Amino acid sequence: MAAPAINKAGQTGGPGSADNAVQSLTLGKALNLGLRAAMEADPKVLMMGEDVGKLGGVFRITDGLQKDFGEHRVLDTPLSESGIIGTAVGLAVRGFRPVCEIQFDGFIFPGFDQIVSQVAKLHARTRGRVKMPLVIRVPFGGGIGAVEHHSESPESYFAHTAGLKVVSCSNAVDAYWMIQQAIQCDDPVLFFEPKRYYHSGNMKAEVDTNATPIPLFQSRVLRQGTTATVVAYGPSVKVAMDAATAAQEEGKSLEVIDLRTLSPLDLAPVYDSVRRTGRLIVVSESPSEASLNSEIAAKVQQECFYSLEAPVLRVNGFDVPYPPAKLEEHFLPDLDRVLDAVDRSLAW
């Protein structure tokens, strides 16, 4: 029998799908339901972090979980990221599957040593005897008008660290499935969530909880095109899709790829696309220097050199500390900057 087709949302439909299993969800609610499903499926799954219990997290992603699963499985912790992650390491060694919430992206750095020195290395240090099934959830990116340390994009630090898996969802469907897949993974996963879209009504999507998701470490073509390829992840995916819609009105056909997985990178669909379009624009909110965008540009130019009609162009946040809220709209990549990059690529 032929395999069922994967729809645009990355779910595999089929006869087993029930109508009442399809829900219209925001990204934040999809994460909440995904966490709930993981806790129901495995009693070894634990939630821990600052205010994740009674409050349900500052973004309410863990809302209702402590009430339903108890304080022994949803733990309010002290304000100590190093302590949260260090405790989770011990729990993972003992066979649990802890899910840590870092309240804001900029708060992850006090736990940096635990992540790169312990979480990333224990499996190799013990020659595979100790597994590290640990997930660290990180609300990341700008666009919420926050103060310093609340709008960072630190994903490149962790994608650079051997021993870690790094992924980022961009929509409600991926949020629901990817968080469950990350929890099921026996390797440590940094799970980056675009917090500006947690509760956006415009980002609601139909989530079929009976569907079969695509694999966790796989990128996906969201929109086919022939003029140029645009690659993005996390909060920048919506920017890329909006740019493709605007470009279509000008007679340009942009192919948009959502990376989804940042380490390991799944660039086969990107190579295939660039060999057809001859042009690539890579979009993310992080500073451009030594970023994931840099790595993607280098690999594409290495693998697709004779197919390129122009240099790979990067559209990033600027190489400055994240600015005050009133200036962030000038810092973040937007539709106009992506379209300008497309025009520069076509003019080459």
8 A C-beta contact, residue 111 and residue 82: yes
pLDDT on residue 10: 59
pLDDT on residue 16: 36
Can you list the residues of the chain whose pLDDT is less than 70? 1-20
pLDDT on residue 1: 28
Instruction: Write the DSSP assignment of 222-282 as a string of letters.
Output: EE--SSEEEEE-TTHHHHHHHHHHHHHTTT--EEEEE--EEETB--HHHHHHHHHHS-EEE
pLDDT on residue 244: 98
Amino acid letter, 324: P
* Alpha carbons 270 and 58: distance in angstroms, whole number: 36
pLDDT on residue 20: 62
* Alpha carbons 174 and 103: distance in angstroms, whole number: 21
Instruction: Write the DSSP assignment of 303-346 as a string of letters.
Output: HSGGG-SS--EEEEE-SSPPPPGGGHHHHS--HHHHHHHHHHHH
* Alpha carbons 138 and 12: distance in angstroms, whole number: 27
Question: What domains can you pick out in the chain, each with its CATH number?
Answer: 18-208 (3.40.50.970), 220-347 (3.40.50.920)
pLDDT on residue 11: 59
pLDDT on residue 17: 40
Residues forming the active site: 150
pTM for the whole thing?
0.93
> What tokens does 287 get?
């500073």
> What tokens does 135 get?
């997930």
CA–CA–CA angle 150, 147, 327 (5° rounding): 105
